[in-house]
Amino acid sequence: MILDFDKIIEDSALARKVAELEQRLEQLEKAQGGSQPVPEEQILFSYSEVEDGVMIEDCLDIPEPDVIVPEQIGGKPVTVIGIGAFSSDAIRTVQLPETVKRIAAYAFGDSVRKVNLPESVILIEEKAFNAALHPETGSQNLTVYCHPGTYASEYAQAHNLASKPYPEFFSDDI
């Protein structure tokens, strides 16, 4: 008998992911008293509360390669994108809401090709997009979309990020 270790590892990783999502759903249902369905955004994102809202820490289950971050989770505004929040290889585009103010280092992984940076962003940590650089060549496959004259556009220019005007985010296919 030949064992397929890759398949065993893949199956165990999937089983851990399913268990993690089931545990998260159970915690959320308990927190809500089980009287209402849990909103999808509370299941899809791992998050924590911060002083001015919510910080996205991770995407737990990515049904599509295009991620749309909601303006609120649990009734609080999404204000921070945490370290490695969008590092999954499944993610291609990230649409951030106008509530986001801060973006942490290494927030975006190397599979991300397209990110909008809203006018509300007032801080982008150094190396926020470094994981989006090709590991061997250092080249970048990422385009950021931002409003001219904003902190985000100045950051993009200062860090040599490929950028386009914000409205093109919705029409560009990358």
What CATH number did the domain enclosing 110 receive? Answer: 3.80.10.10
Residue 26 falls inside a structural domain: no
Q: Supply the pTM of this predicted model.
A: 0.73
| pLDDT attached to residue 120 | 96
Residue 80 falls inside a structural domain: yes
Average per-residue pLDDT for the chain? 79
| pLDDT attached to residue 37 | 47
Winning range, highest mean pLDDT, from 53-67, 116-130, 138-152: 116-130
Residue 140 falls inside a structural domain: yes
- pLDDT digits 0-9 by tens, 14-28: 566 566 656 665 655
Closest CA relative to residue 75, chosen from 32, 23, 33, 34: 32
Range of the domain at 111: 9-20+36-170
- pLDDT digits 0-9 by tens, 95-138: 999 999 999 998 998 888 899 999 999 999 988 887 655 555 55
Which helix (H) or strand (E) covers residue 79, if one does?
strand 76-81
Angle at 32 between CA 28 and CA 33, to 5 degrees: 115
Residue 165 falls inside a structural domain: yes
| pLDDT attached to residue 61 | 64
Winning range, highest mean pLDDT, from 50-54, 84-88, 109-113: 50-54
Do 136 and 110 form a contact (C-beta atoms < 8 A)? Answer: no
**Residues whose CB falls within 8 Å of the CB of residue 87, separated by 6 or more in sequence, listed in order:** 58, 106, 107, 108, 109, 131
How many structural domains is the chain composed of? Answer: 1
Residue 41 falls inside a structural domain: yes
Which percentage of the chain shows pLDDT scores above 90?
A: 34
- pLDDT digits 0-9 by tens, 69-85: 999 988 899 999 999 89
Residue 112 falls inside a structural domain: yes
What pLDDT band is residue 64 in, cutting at 50, 70 and 90?
A: confident
